[in-house]
Amino acid sequence: MSDKETRHKERQEKLKQAVDTKIANAQTVKGLMIVITGNGKGKSTSGFGTVARGVGHGLKCAVAQFIKGNWECGERALLEKNGVEFHVMGTGFTWNTQDRIADTEAALAIWEKCEQMLQDESLDLVLLDELTYMITYDYVPLERVLTALRNRPFMQSVVVTGRAAHRELTEMADTVSEVRNVKHAFDSGVKALKGVDW
Amino acid sequence: MSDKETRHKERQEKLKQAVDTKIANAQTVKGLMIVITGNGKGKSTSGFGTVARGVGHGLKCAVAQFIKGNWECGERALLEKNGVEFHVMGTGFTWNTQDRIADTEAALAIWEKCEQMLQDESLDLVLLDELTYMITYDYVPLERVLTALRNRPFMQSVVVTGRAAHRELTEMADTVSEVRNVKHAFDSGVKALKGVDW
């Protein structure tokens, strides 16, 4: 074995020890709360990817989509066909509606569906897509969200996406990733692409 | 209308103008190259979410999975069933194989499949999952990767995931997100969960 191969093997052996120790120490089994926040592309996409993974493993999954309008949605087409329950707020972006009172009503209506999902023992995985904005805009009271998340079934996992997640959400979460925008095609004049961007 | 409602409406009107201007300026139509990098959870998940979205819209998609082993994979089960072509390196993590020469051979074999996909006009979307490590470890020459990406069909989109993406990859990309690890359940002793973590 050459020096290069030997060094590679040594480095990888050390890495393996570190990973094995971590795996041995990770013995708590429970449903996870995952928050995907930040200003970069890929938050909702990651949430829907988790649902696709769950469905592939035979988990029972449900999705609530806040903010987004009723336009054609690629992930919804595939996942609904594969048994995922969908609830869509359907008002469109806040800058299109420009109506705080109507948006609040729509948000609360879909939040009530979320509270039912977060009490449903048969659901393994719930995606609350773009929920963070509902708290930022004060459409849904923070305390109500925290209570429902805290009291959900022990083995139910939840993914919350959206920019600027409230500190109390990230503190409650088991896993938090921040998706940082390094650059975005849209800012260089590239049109959003069907099947890739939406 | 109360002061609060009026202020909301004014803010949202301004936001709408900014968004509308951006949409009007975004007129370039082309396949996108997206890089999802960083040390946080959700990179591959985001890549698979994009493929799920593409499939839902009827796009022809293909996936190459580097690094990962041959264990059961939720997203693969769902996506393959829905017509997505999969190529899996299947050697497992570098810290398990600890064998640079065999890993390089396996990497090059799957990279040849990638070169075919990146020349295939019929493919709308290609996911190169965990490709970045192949460059970091020098399993696949950087120049070979850049050439294949640069010469791909004009309307083909590509998603590249993995930690520490090479600067030349991010420079070539249209969209780059960095997923930063804020916290991870695994580090607090929570076991990886089927259907959520893998």
Lowest-confidence region among A10-14, B116-120, B159-163, B174-178? A10-14
Q: Which residue of B has its CA nearest to A155?
A: B193
pLDDT of residue B70: 52
Specify if B16 maps to a domain: no
Q: What are the pLDDT digits (tens) for A84-122?
A: 999 988 766 666 677 888 889 999 999 999 999 999 999
Please give the average per-residue pLDDT across A40-50, as a whole number.
91
Q: What is the CATH number for A143?
A: 3.40.50.300
Query: If DSSP states are collapsed to H, E and C, what string results for chain A?
Result: CCHHHHHHHHHHHHHHHHHHHHHHHCCECCCCEEEEECCCCCHHHHHHHHHHHHHHCCCCEEEEECCCCCCCCHHHHHHHHCCCEEEECCCCCHHHHCCHHHHHHHHHHHHHHHHHHCCCCCCCEEEEECCHHHHHCCCCCHHHHHHHHHCCCCCCEEEEECCCCCHHHHHHCCEEEEEEEEECHHHHCECCCCCCCC
Q: Give backbone dihedrals phi and psi of A27, rounded to 5 degrees, phi first.
A: -115, -5
Tell me which residue range forms the domain holding B129.
30-180
Q: Give backbone dihedrals phi and psi of B133, rounded to 5 degrees, phi first.
A: -65, -30
Specify if B137 maps to a domain: yes
Cβ-nearest to B40 among A32, A54, A178: A178
Q: What is the mean pLDDT of chain B?
A: 89
Specify if A39 maps to a domain: yes
Residues of chain A in contact with residue B75, where contact means CB-CB under 8 angstroms, are 49, 52-53, 56
Cβ-nearest to B22 among A48, A101, A186: A186
pLDDT of residue A70: 52
Starting from the edge strand earliest in sequence, which strands make up the sheet with B157-161, in order? A85-88, A61-65, A125-129, A157-161, A33-37, A175-183, B175-183, B33-37, B157-161, B125-129, B61-65, B85-88
Cβ contact, residue pair B95, A15, below 8 Å: yes
For the question of an ipTM over 0.85, the answer is no
Q: Which residue of A has its CA nearest to B13?
A: A95
pLDDT of residue B140: 96
Q: What are the pLDDT digits (tens) for B78-137?
A: 899 889 999 988 776 666 677 888 889 999 999 999 999 999 999 999 999 999 999 999
d(CA B180, CA B197): 17
Contacts of A20 (CB under 8 A, 6+ apart): none
* Distance between A113 CA and the closest CA of chain B, angstroms: 22
Cβ contact, residue pair B75, A170, below 8 Å: no
Which residue, among A50, A94, A126, would best test binding to B if mutated, counting the most B CBs under 10 Å from its CB? Answer: A50
pLDDT range class, residue A191, cuts 50, 70, 90: confident
Specify if A38 maps to a domain: yes
Taking CA atoms, A138 is separated from A108, A114, A126, A141, B3, in Å, by 11, 16, 22, 6, 16
Cβ contact, residue pair B188, A174, below 8 Å: yes
Specify if A20 maps to a domain: no
Determine the straight-line distance between the first and last CA of chain B, rounded to whole angstroms: 50
Residues of chain A in contact with residue B196, where contact means CB-CB under 8 angstroms, are 32, 34, 50, 53-54, 125, 157
Cβ contact, residue pair B4, A100, below 8 Å: yes
Which residue, among A4, A55, A57, would best test binding to B if mutated, counting the most B CBs under 10 Å from its CB? Answer: A57
pLDDT of residue A100: 83
Specify if B4 maps to a domain: no
Specify if A193 maps to a domain: no
The predicted model scores a pTM of: 0.84
Question: Residue A20 corresponds to which tokens in the numbers above?
Answer: 């094995």
Contacts of A145 (CB under 8 A, 6+ apart): A111, A131, A134, A135, A169
Count of domains in chain A? 1
pLDDT range class, residue B25, cuts 50, 70, 90: confident
Residues of chain B in contact with residue A193, where contact means CB-CB under 8 angstroms, are 29, 31-32, 157
Cβ-nearest to A45 among B16, B22, B53: B53
Give ∠ CA A36-A39-A43 in degrees, rounded to 5: 35
Specify if A12 maps to a domain: no
